[in-house]
Amino acid sequence: MIYEVLGWINVFLLILNGSLFILKKIYKNYKFKNSKNKTKYLSLLKKISFFHKINGLLIILIAIIHAYLILGTVFYIHTGSILLILIIINFLLYIFKNLKIFKKWLLIHKLNTIIIFTALIIHLTNPWIFG
């Protein structure tokens, strides 16, 4: 079914977007043996960073289509809807990052990403946990 394909595309995009933080940490802390490997790694980071925002929008769009194909127009409190709300919050944190109330927006963005991955695991293992 198409909704399953869309769901797995989103899982891939979420992992790709979530890996950016981990990959940057590795880059900062890893002692590269030669500059060629360091350059390749940095090139990979730049590519992932470039697509990070685009992927964020795609994740939201695909999630809405995925939910519509499964649930139709009826809204349910569901692990998927909670996951989508968390993803939208992360996107809004980025959009409103320049507001003074969000001085630590990146920290909140990263912490919310951990919550998103927890919600993703729950959604994949028990989507109807709320009934």
Tell me the pLDDT of the chain (131 aa) as tens digits: 999 999 999 999 999 999 998 999 988 888 888 889 889 999 999 999 999 999 999 999 999 999 999 999 888 888 999 999 999 999 999 888 888 776 788 899 999 999 999 999 999 999 989 87
- For residue 85, give both structure tokens: 């709300």
Token pair, residue 117, equals 């991955």
Local structure of 56: helix, strand or coil:
helix
Hey, where are the domains in the chain?
Answer: 2-125
Measured CA to CA, the distance from residue 8 to residue 70 in angstroms comes to 14
